[in-house]
């Protein structure tokens, strides 16, 4: 079924607006009389019904709105349900930061830097598509080298790895002092 120019225009406007559009506004924009708008909407709805479309144009107060048909409410509700949120825990963020700044890097190197095992965090970051295997180290055992993905760049708003901000020297010094304090504290406990 071929649509008239007016039907095409009305369909485009109503789809674009996504809300109720006043009839007088439609008349002004399309440069037609109100009766012509009503006829065109009726024709569109008849066409939607014949095609078993999921769309319908409703008259609401003094305007029209393109809507989905009531029969599809269940599928729309299923679509609207949010997938489980990918939560980046502190451990995941720390591991991701180590990988981002030291890539390519092996699991053992990550564990040495963080001081904890990394199997779970590496598995989760891989599942979230934030890291990936980028190669193998050319040593005995050929351990996997990890690096960040393009999804990581998109997620954090970087266009390339070179855009990752560098750690300021002053902040680095604070970190070094905190680490030294922790080492001294552990040494004192061992002596007691």
- Check residue 37 and give its pLDDT: 96
Rank 149-158, 162-171, 180-189 by mean pLDDT and report only the highest: 149-158
Is residue 179's pLDDT more than 60?
Answer: yes
Rounded CA-CA distance 84/69 in Å is: 28
Is residue 180's pLDDT more than 80?
Answer: no
The sheet with strand 21-22 has its strands ordered as 21-22, 63-68, 55-60
- Check residue 83 and give its pLDDT: 66
- Check residue 14 and give its pLDDT: 95
Rg of the chain over all Cα atoms, to the nearest angstrom: 30
Task: Point out which residues pair with 63 in neighbouring strands.
Answer: 22, 60
Percent of the chain at pLDDT > 90 equals: 59
| 142 Ramachandran zone, left/alpha/beta (phi>0; psi -120 to 50) | left
CA 115 to chain centroid, in Å, comes to: 31
């Amino acid at each position: 079924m071929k649509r008239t120019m007016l039907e095409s225009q009305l369909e485009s406007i109503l789809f674009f607006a996504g809300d109720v559009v006043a009839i007088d506004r439609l008349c002004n924009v399309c440069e037609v009389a109100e009766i012509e708008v009503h006829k065109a909407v009726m024709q569109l709805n008849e066409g939607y019904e014949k095609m078993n479309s999921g769309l319908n144009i409703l008259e609401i107060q003094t305007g029209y709105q393109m809507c989905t048909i009531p029969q599809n409410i269940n599928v729309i509700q299923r679509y609207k349900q949010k997938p489980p949120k990918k939560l980046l825990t502190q451990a995941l963020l720390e591991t991701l930061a180590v990988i981002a700044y030291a890539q390519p890097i092996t699991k053992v190197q990550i564990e040495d830097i963080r001081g904890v095992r990394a199997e779970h965090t590496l598995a989760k970051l891989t599942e979230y598509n934030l890291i990936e295997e980028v190669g193998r180290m050319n040593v005995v055992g050929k351990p996997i080298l990890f690096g960040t993905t393009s999804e990581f760049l998109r997620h954090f708003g970087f266009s390339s790895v070179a855009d990752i901000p560098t750690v300021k020297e002053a902040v680095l010094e604070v970190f070094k002092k905190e680490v030294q304090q922790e080492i001294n504290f552990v040494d004192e406990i061992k002596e007691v």
